[in-house]
């Protein structure tokens, strides 16, 4: 699926009332700014704000988004913890969501980085603990 506004691959896709819409990361961010009528969402890159993240996820969910992506490298795993907490607090059915994470930049140890079998397995297990989930639907090689 392609972005509704440009030809980039859609990072976010939603379907509601038979209408399918895809947005690239930049256009999703633009739409979230419009929907939340708030300051730049780039502020989230410099801090972890649970309330803002919960608000953004709720708006996305209310507009048909069910795909949520994360990575072990985002805020050194804290973003996965926050997203897992929010999903639990919202009471969303796990079977209604598609959740992904990315593995590569896991930490400082010699086996905490890369795409070795060891790190892919251990990194995925660590992500599952942080997300408080039994499974993720997709694991990306985050290079």
Residues 6+ apart with CB under 8 A from 72: 80, 101, 102, 103, 104, 105, 106, 123, 126, 127, 130, 142
Give the chain's count of helices (H) and strands (E).
Answer: 4, 5
Give the DSSP letter string of 69-97. E--TTGGGGHHHHHHHHHHHHHT--GGG-
Q: Which of 5, 61, 74, 140 is catalytic?
A: 74
61 included as an active-site residue: no
Residue 79 CA, chain-centre distance (Å), reads 9
Catalytic residues: 74
């Amino acid at each position: 699926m392609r972005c509704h506004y440009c030809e980039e691959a859609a990072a976010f896709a939603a379907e509601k009332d038979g209408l399918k819409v895809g947005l690239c990361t930049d256009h999703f961010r633009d739409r979230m700014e419009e929907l939340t009528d708030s300051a730049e969402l780039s502020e989230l890159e410099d801090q972890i704000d649970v309330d803002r993240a919960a608000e953004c996820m709720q708006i996305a969910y209310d507009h048909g988004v069910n795909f949520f992506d994360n990575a072990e490298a985002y805020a050194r795993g804290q973003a996965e913890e926050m997203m897992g907490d929010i999903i639990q607090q919202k009471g969303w059915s796990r079977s209604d969501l598609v959740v992904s994470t990315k593995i590569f930049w896991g930490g400082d140890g010699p086996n905490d980085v890369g795409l070795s079998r060891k790190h892919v397995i251990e990194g995925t297990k660590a992500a599952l603990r942080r997300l408080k989930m039994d499974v993720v639907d997709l694991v990306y090689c985050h290079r």
